[in-house]
Structures are given as C-alpha cells and as structure tokens.
Amino acid sequence: MDGPRIALNKLLETMTPDRHSLDSGFFRRHATDVAQNLIGVRLTVDGVGGVIVETEAYDRTDPASHAFRGPTLANAVMFGPPAHAYVYHSYGIHWCLNFVCGPELGAAVLIRALEPTDGVEIMSARRRTTDPLKLCAGPGRLCQALAITRASHNGLPLDEPPFALSRARSAGNVASGRRIGITKGAETPWRFGLAGSPYLSRPF
DNA sequence: GTATCGATGATCT
DNA sequence: GATCATCGATACC
C-alpha cells in the first residue's frame, strides 16, 4: 500500500517551514540530489535575491565539469568542503555561482535562475532593467543582480552572511533536461528547474 | 518569434 | 593559441 505513504510524503513536503535554514547535511549529497532539492529554496546575498528555480549538477566524472581534469588554483574550492561558494569567471565577462557538494570531492551545483523576491529595486539598478523576467534568468545575470564576484565571494561558507539559504516552498514539479551551453557531456540530463516557471533562463 | 554572432579575458594546453 | 557551465544585439523569418 503506497498510497498513504505517498500522501504523507506530499503533506510533509508542503509543511516544510519558511525561514528554516537548510540542514547541515543538505550539501553532503551527490550534486544531482542537491540540485533538485535546491528548487524552491530562497537564496539571498546581503538580503538581496530570490527563490531558486533552475540549477545544474556537475561532478568530477563529468567531462563538462571544471573539476574533470583535477584540482587547479582556479577550481580549488570545488575540492574543498561542501556548502561553500565556488565562483568562476565565464567568457571573460560574467561571474557564475556554484554550491560545492559532497560526499565526493569535486562536485557542485550551478545556480542558473532565481525568481526575484528580495531587494528587487537594488537588482534592477545593478542589472539596468526593470523587467523581472531578466533580473536573474541565467547564471551571469543572477550574479550581476546579487553583486557576486570571485574576489568577494569565492570560497565563502553558505551558512553565514552574506549568504542566507532557507526553504521558501516545496520543490514543486521539478523538470529535468540537458544542461545549457556545454559541448562535452551534453546528453547528461542534469539540468533541473521548476516546470513552467516564467523565471527560467530557458524553458524545459 | 528564433538564429547567429561578437565581446572579452582568465585559464589551460 | 584554443577553449569556454554567457549575454545582448542584430538579422531574419
């Protein structure tokens, strides 16, 4: 009889309280688990941010991952403890934010899109647009909106200011698909997001 | 609406 | 010298 169990799980999921910090073991799991469970989590940096609606998982066995070729100075944070921020510079122009995951070394989740909720005016000024659909839809845009750079945020723990993470709502209907913008490992369906959300960088 | 392309610089080969 | 986990502008349907 799975019916009652499924109903109970759904109930427990919707009862997940707001303003509740993530469990200390949250990031000590494989990046694919973390990536799915981050959907619906509120992320703020110095009080500015929103609810995560899109993520991608990368691990050390994955040719698309920065960790694939082993540790270097640039990716060292990926080989450190989980629940820390790994920030990298993309295409010479943008910053991108990842959350380091465990249990194995060299895994992380790329935060690709937020539904803007906190400090929308500040984000609009930083992004030079008031269109809420373009504030945090994409990893580079998101970092611009939250003022994330490697110099100020790479390697910082996620359970202390300026970061704040808490579950805003249940993960909801999580869709998955191919990751965006990669050539190697492109078939691996490790992109996750809130199905139907208008705040995605791209639909699923 | 979708497709393509240039910007731009750190990192690694 | 090549690569790149992107974005925004432009061109064309």
CA dist A98 and A78 (Å) reads: 9
* CB of A94 nearer than 7 A to strand C: yes
CA of A91 to C1' of B6 (A): 12
Nucleic strand C under 7 Å from the C-beta of A142: yes
The candidate with the shortest Cα–Cα distance to A174, out of A78, A5, A7, A36, is: A36
Q: Which fold has domain A26-194?
A: 3-methyladenine DNA Glycosylase; Chain A (3.10.300)
Q: Which positions of chain C lie under 7 Å from any protein Cβ?
A: 4-8
Nearest to A88 by CA among A62, A108, A68: A108
Residue A51 in contact with residue A117, Cβ under 8 Å? yes
Residue A4 has pLDDT above 60, yes or no: no
- Average pLDDT of span A11-30: 68
In this structure, are residues A191 and A54 in contact, taking their beta carbons and an 8 Å threshold? yes
Local structure of A174: helix, strand or coil: strand
Q: Which nucleotide is nearest to A89 (CA to C1')?
A: B10
Q: How many CB atoms lie within 10 A of CB A178?
A: 14
CA of A92 to C1' of C1 (A): 16
Note the pLDDT of residue A20.
Answer: 58
Q: Which residue is nearest to nucleotide B9 (CA to C1')?
A: A92
Distance A180 CA to C3 C1' (A): 16
Residue pLDDT, tens place only, A67-120 = 999 999 999 999 999 999 999 999 999 999 999 998 999 999 999 999 999 999
Single-letter residue type at A60? R
With a cut of 80, say whether residue A204 has pLDDT above it: yes
Query: In this predicted model, what pLDDT tens digit does every residue of A179-198 receive, in sequence order?
Result: 999 989 989 999 999 999 99
**Chain B nucleotides reached by a protein CB under 7 Å:** 7-13
Domain-by-domain residue ranges, chain A?
A: 26-194
Spatial distance from the CA of A88 to the C1' of C12 (Å): 35
Confidence of residue A22 (pLDDT cuts 50, 70, 90): confident
CA dist A56 and A200 (Å) reads: 12
Could you tell me the distance in Å between the CA of residue A115 and the C1' of nucleotide B11? 32
pTM (predicted TM-score) = 0.90
